[in-house]
């Protein structure tokens, strides 16, 4: 069983990068791998299906994506007008810095989903080329991934952590704000570096055009719904590996092994790993490892999936920046948490 699950995990990392067909149908691919993994581990049963069906976040997130899509389609002209007005008054790089910082912090209040929907609408209108739009979006998704955890309403992971630790509403902000807020500010500076104003008209072939028809909006919501089911199946399917080979690790190793959340559900991993028996350092190490690595690849976070879908970002394009940036951030936080 272990070897089959290990092979499926490897396939989950490699195929979206190696195959364009898989990449275009990422949600379906992850769902199929999740089914295969849960069958292999023996976890696919009526109890699991009922648990998935009762996951309220699945419906809330899909509904938010659906409503947000229609809302932003309706408000597109107003957003474009506001963008033109703002960019006439402040430098582009300053605007991008503020966008990444504000969207990251705002995600803890309006949820990571709404923040991601707003992000792609704004990025699609920036007067820069496609390559830099993609880089700014990836950096901003790292910011959302970090910022959303500051309150229990930002994302499922933060809800699970607060619940498992029996903590107060402001626990995550009080304990992790000193790590996360400076990180978001640094990400703002990094993202601003890609804000290169175009000196000439952008080639239409090198432009990102967000085509929003009613059918596109509905299909995207359905894909997100399927993606969440896939994450549930993947989490349960790979649970034997998590329980037997990941949880017993020393916290310093666990911090790095949690890079698996680049393709697995970080909320599932947090539910398995976080415990009231952990020290403050252990909780910080586990949580920061999960949060940072979630930005490395498209499947790592729902905002990544939304952005990649709307802006047509390929997995190979994402990892060119996502993986080196994620590893660099993890190195910095490793020193802060374990060395300093």
Are 298 and 318 a contacting pair, CB within 8 Å?
Answer: yes
Assigned token pair, 309: 């879908």
Give per-residue burial for 259-297: e unless 16+ CB within 10 Å, then b: bbbbbbbbbbbbbbbbeeebeeebbbbbbbbbbbbbbbb
Nearest to 310 by CA among 232, 212, 235, 202: 212
Tokens encoding 243: 């329980």
Q: What is the chain's pLDDT, residue by residue, as a tens digit (340 residues)? A: 888 988 988 888 888 878 888 878 888 888 999 899 999 999 999 998 998 898 787 888 788 888 888 888 888 888 888 888 998 999 999 999 999 999 999 999 888 888 998 999 899 889 899 999 999 999 999 999 999 999 988 887 888 788 778 888 888 999 899 999 999 999 999 999 998 765 555 555 555 555 678 888 898 889 888 888 887 888 788 888 877 877 777 888 888 988 888 877 677 677 777 777 778 888 888 889 989 998 999 988 889 988 998 888 998 899 999 999 999 999 999 999 988 8
- Rounded to whole angstroms, the Cα distance separating 19 from 14 reads 9
SS3 42: coil
Measure the CA–CA gap between 118 and 75, rounded to whole angstroms: 11
pTM of the full structure:
0.83
The radius of gyration computed from the CA coordinates of the chain, to the nearest angstrom, equals: 19
């Amino acid at each position: 069983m272990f070897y089959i699950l290990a092979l499926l995990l490897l396939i989950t990392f490699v195929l979206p990068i190696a195959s364009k067909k898989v990449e275009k149908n990422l949600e379906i691919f992850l769902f199929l791998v999740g089914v295969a993994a849960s069958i292999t581990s023996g976890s696919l049963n009526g109890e699991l299906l009922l648990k998935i069906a009762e996951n309220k976040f699945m419906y809330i997130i899909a509904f938010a994506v659906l409503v947000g899509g229609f809302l932003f389609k309706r408000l597109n002209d107003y957003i474009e007008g506001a963008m033109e007005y703002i960019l006439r008054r402040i430098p582009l790089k300053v605007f991008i810095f503020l966008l990444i910082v504000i969207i990251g912090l705002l995600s803890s209040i309006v949820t990571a989903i709404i923040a991601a929907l707003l992000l792609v609408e704004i990025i699609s209108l920036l007067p820069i080329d496609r390559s830099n739009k993609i880089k700014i979006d990836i950096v901003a998704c790292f910011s959302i991934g970090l910022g959303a955890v500051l309150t229990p309403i930002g994302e499922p992971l933060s809800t699970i952590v607060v619940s498992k630790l029996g903590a107060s509403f402001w626990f995550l902000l009080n304990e992790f704000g000193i790590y996360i807020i400076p990180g978001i500010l640094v990400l703002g500076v990094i993202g601003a570096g890609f804000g290169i104003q175009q000196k000439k008209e952008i080639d239409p072939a090198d432009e990102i055009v967000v085509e929003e028809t009613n059918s596109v909006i509905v299909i995207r919501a359905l894909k997100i719904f399927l993606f969440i089911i896939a994450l549930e199946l993947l989490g349960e399917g790979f649970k034997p590996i998590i329980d037997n080979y990941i949880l017993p690790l020393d916290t310093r190793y666990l911090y790095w092994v949690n890079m698996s959340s680049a393709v697995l559900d970080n909320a599932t991993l947090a539910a398995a790993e976080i415990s009231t028996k952990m020290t403050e350092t252990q909780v910080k190490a586990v949580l920061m490892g999960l949060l940072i690595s979630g930005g490395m690849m498209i499947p790592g976070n729902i905002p990544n999936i939304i952005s990649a879908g709307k802006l047509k970002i390929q997995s190979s394009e994402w990892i060119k920046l996502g993986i080196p940036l994620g590893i660099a951030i993890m190195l910095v936080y490793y020193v802060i948490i374990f060395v300093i």
